[in-house]
Structure 1
Amino acid sequence: MFCVIGCVALLGWNFILGELGTLIDAFGEAYGTWCSLCFALCINAGQLMLVWIGNRFRFGPRFYAGCIGMGVSMILIAVSAMTFARNNQSAGLAAGCIFVGFYGFANAVMESTMFGLAALVGPVSMQFILIGEGVSGLIAWPLDRLCQAILEGCGVADYTYPRMMLFFGLGMLVNFASVPMYKYSMQRHPVIVKALEIEEGRQDFILKKETTRPLVKILCDVDQNEKEELEIAGYAMSFGLICGILTGSVIATVIKQSAYM
């Protein structure tokens, strides 16, 4: 089951990358850059947020929210590309960036939740999540070709955008199907039940009780012997790096557009 969860975690992103050419055609050439930047920014923001408030919520609700968020954002990307994006690429680019960012945030919530649960079960479970993530990269392209073959068999001549809609719709259904799989099968497994009992015994995470120094001092001078400080500094550095890259891209885009004007 952890292998399936790992596959679901990255399947949607592989679907988006598989149809990136179609999305660039709809949202404009700039989307090729902004797609990855917005995804990276929001997935880091989600992970950084979970450092503070993640353990205040149980595994189940976090997993459900992540799966539903990924499914909804995928279909919204496809709908935007098929409807108004080609006629108004500025609005389409904005919508595409917002929805892929929302997908990244939901992915951070879902994936970190499953890694947290797998850590309570054992290292083998974490290995199976990684195996599933690898499998998702192998099956994305065959599924894309299958969607194209179905449309061609139905007599659809211009199948580019309908294929993307069918492809992303399949990804949405896979994400939605993960919710009942976890609720009615996975969390009732004896091994998972024991892990959830450990979760129930944990106290709510409160940052001031986990660290002995203020956040600003931690970021200025990290204590290498404190695991919590290293984790916080790592997330903050990653988030800051992505923000810097994003800011540089904005400046470069403005300069480029000004040169054309």
Structure 2
Amino acid sequence: MMEKVLQVKNLKVAYGPIKALKGIDLEVRQGETVAIIGANGAGKSTLLKTISGLLKPAEGTIEFRGQPLTSMAPHHIVSKGLIHVPEGRAVLGRMTVEDNLLMGAYCRKDEKEIQEDLEKVLALFPILKERFKFQAGNLSGGQQQMLAIGRGMMARPQIMMLDEPSLGLAPIVIKEIFEIIKNLRDKGITVLLVEQNAKQALKVADRGYVLETGRVVLSDSGANLLRSEEVTRAYLGERKDDTRRALTA
């Protein structure tokens, strides 16, 4: 069985009187891609922000390889290899593509290894190599998302946490982004994926969790959740019998 690298138990988070997470239990094993799906306001982004130390829980525990993270500062969590690619990409628009990528390696010291990893990222994202000296703010949305993922890779992640990587992108670009996510898994990078595009997320996921109003209401393999009547009706916009009719029409 694959090693358990991240474990969340009874995680509760509140924004003042509003309870955003109401006792989340979740685990991620080495090399997995795990998807978290759910409607707006379900608590998906809050969960990632709490794991990465940007929010502090009211209750519960977060462990990475058995080490507690709940009282650890965000930059220390990054140095452990938990990398958060936030919703909206958050590239540094006035800085070049090169400088954005190098910012991802700010916790690292070995210049030779950093340069080697930079070449690997540019090989994975040829468009970033073409625009290496461009200001990041001048890139398209899809290119900025590639830059945000590339910047995360420069930290040599043990877990890459991606928050809504397809948000606001054209369908053809979304397809490319999900190919990149599959490529990350093929490279052995563990991925925790928050995504409103539930169908695409579950297609690339080994396992998935469904969140509703701060609680996990379903968890299973990605394939089983794709076949679930409940998930199909609530998140994929179609019923199973509708799908069968479409396939036989």
TM-score scaled by length of structure 1: 0.23
Bigger RCO (CA 8 Å, 6+ sep): 1
Return the TM-score normalized by structure 2: 0.24
Greater C-alpha radius of gyration: 1
Structure holding more helix per residue: 1
